[in-house]
A and B are shown apart, each in its own frame.
Chain A
Amino acid sequence: MSTVTGRLNVRYLALAAFLVAIVVLPLLGTHYTSLMIVIGIHTMLAVGLCLLMGFTGQVSLGHAAFYGIGAFGSGILTTNLHLSPWLAMIVAAVITGLIAFLVALPIFRLEGHYLAMATLGFGMIVFIFLNQTHQLTGGPSGLRGIPSLSIASFEIDTDFRYYYLVWAFCLLVLLASRNIVQSRVGRALRSIHGSEAAAASLGVNVASFKVKIFVLSAVYASVAGSLYAHYTTFISPQPFGFLFSIRLVVMVVIGGLASIWGAIFGTLSVTFLTEFLQPFGDFDVIVFGLILIVVMIFMPEGLTFGIQELIAKRLRLARHGGQVA
């Protein structure tokens, strides 16, 4: 089980199974397609946040803001300025990236709690802004009539087509992030999470990496927001508030702070847990709160790792007949 080939086989098998599942799902034609579209969008957000939190150890409690800027950016540019949706998506991503950059510079001079609070404050300001600037965003009543995306004359306006579009984007994001994680830059990132001083002593430009990752995660969020806007064709500020930012944190915590693929698991878990707890009203919020507390106390690397560790430990104990190796 611990041989190199064994590990590789399992990994590729799992990946293949996952890809097959993703491709096949909409052909079963149920409303789960719609749900999985939303999950795909949320996963892009979670991956970005995971990079930020897991690999740089920085917290962002206002990530929904970037999601919202992307969504409203696309929405406004396509309805008011009549830009092509793809162009609007790019412009929105650039704007979001710029805002993230401007915010990151002063924010990353702060430490720990102050940083977290600054991100929270930023999220709130954006939310208030989206709600108040009626002329631009439509205020709480939102923006209607956002056009759908299309490639040449092929309009992507059914759930079936949109599903593949979203998951194509999502897989791109996952692959890109994986490459970052495993590259020289990525190893540097992981070192920052360990110790900034050590990283700096190795010649890693700590400040620059933090900013780049922050901007990247914001851009992911922006693209996710644009995809959301073109999917629902109506957006209001409501989905982009503080509570959603917290939900994203829960997804990352469950999936594992330092695991990109875990972000999918985290998103799936949170979404299905909410579905499952539906008959109990708002119980899901209470459960999420508990999960955050319990997981961070006992399994600070995230729920998936924690459970795996537990299972691995049991297996090891069983294999060695009760003696610890």
Chain B
Amino acid sequence: MNTSQVIQYIVSGVTLGSVYAIVALGFTTIYNVTGIINFAQGEFVMLGGMLTYWLLRSAQLPIALSFILAILMVTIIGLLLERFAVRPAQKASLISLIIITIGASTFLRGIGGELWGRDAVPLPPISGEKPIGFLSAFVLPQHLWIIGIMVVLMVSLHLFLSYTLLGKAVRACAGNRYAAGLVGINVHVTSAFAFAVSAAFGAIAGIIVAPITLTSYSVGTMLGLKGFAAAVLGGLTSVPGAVLGGIALGLLESLGGGFVSSDYKDAIAFLVLFLVLFLRPQGMLGQRETKS
């Protein structure tokens, strides 16, 4: 056990955690605006990566165009999901909403498997694969892109929520949907917007992580679950919490895998989820929720 190993673990943890953070931001956004946990969030990540691959290989489009088009397509899918699966069920019970988003997740995953097969596929990295020395560890350029993009997304979201009209509407809905509707905020539009943002974020996460981790029709399940664990860890009601939770989870997984056992690495995320739910359900930065 030496410092270069530990530093490598930390580097891995932070980059992995950044991906979890972006996924977590998607969960948080939808939850805050609509009160729903979108189980299909992981599938947005999957679709981002797979659609990009498909556009690159089958439609032979240039890389930049493929990225943008894929993000747009996933955003549209997110909007469709909101319009046709979530909005009609507004009055439904919680159990119904959970099952609906699970159904959406299963559906999208199944379609992905049928369209693109089971095999894992790579995406080209944004700027090459030459490892960069950092202290005594190595990091790939793609890792830096991931961290950077995560920061940009977080800052943009924060600025948007604080300074624009739509952003304020979103925050109003997050506070109290009914009241927001009363003062003339179009709840449907903000809801659709939340889904669009989450879908786009998910797609971006899928695209920037695929060059390193490869992507396939089934990546959505685990990433979605871990992204959710990260969101809960950070506090479902808090945007910076999502990021903090993501990084924290990434570090826990990486250090746990390194120091304790790589066999149970996956279990770490779920243990964390459990502990948080039992000991401090509002997470690190979230606020205690009252029954409404």
Contact = CB atoms under 8 A, between A and B. Distances in A.
- The answer to whether any beta carbons of A and B sit under 8 Å apart in the complex is yes
Interface stretch (B1-9, B54-62, B91-99): B91-99
B88 interface: yes
Given A124-B225, A283-B114, A289 B99 contact: no
Size bracket, chain A contacts = 35 or more
Contacts of A114: 232, 277, 281
A128 B266 CA distance: 8
A57 B95 contact: yes
Nearest to B264: A132
A308 B176 CA distance: 38
B270 to A, nearest CB: 4
Nearest to B99: A296
B179 interface: no
A291 B99 CA distance: 10
Given A117-B277, A249-B99, A285-B113, A293 B271 contact: no
B89 interface: yes
A293 B270 contact: no
B287 to A, nearest CB: 14
B214 interface: no
Given A129-B267, A283-B114, A289 B277 contact: no
A53 B95 contact: yes
Interface stretch (B14-22, B69-77, B104-112, B158-166): B104-112
Contact of A113 (B37, B96, B264, B270): B37
Size bracket, chain B contacts = 35 or more
Contacts of B278: 106, 109
A242 B42 CA distance: 15
Task: With a 10 A CB-CB cut-off, give which of A53, A114, A121, A253 has the most chain B CB atoms.
Answer: A121
Interface in A284-313: 285-286, 288-293, 296-298, 300
A128 to B, nearest CB: 5
A121 B229 contact: yes
Given A117-B273, A289-B103, A282 B228 contact: no
Task: With a 10 A CB-CB cut-off, give which of B103, B104, B264, B291 has the most chain A CB atoms.
Answer: B103
Task: With a 10 A CB-CB cut-off, give which of B85, B102, B266 has the most chain A CB atoms.
Answer: B102
Contacts of A59: 95, 98-99
Contact of B85 (A118, A125, A249, A297): A297
Given A110-B277, A128-B266, 7 more contacts: A111-B291, A113-B37, A116-B37, A120-B225, A289-B105, A296-B92, A296-B100
Give the 7 A-B residue pairs with the shortest CB-CB distance, closest first: A292-B103, A289-B107, A289-B106, A286-B110, A285-B110, A293-B103, A121-B270
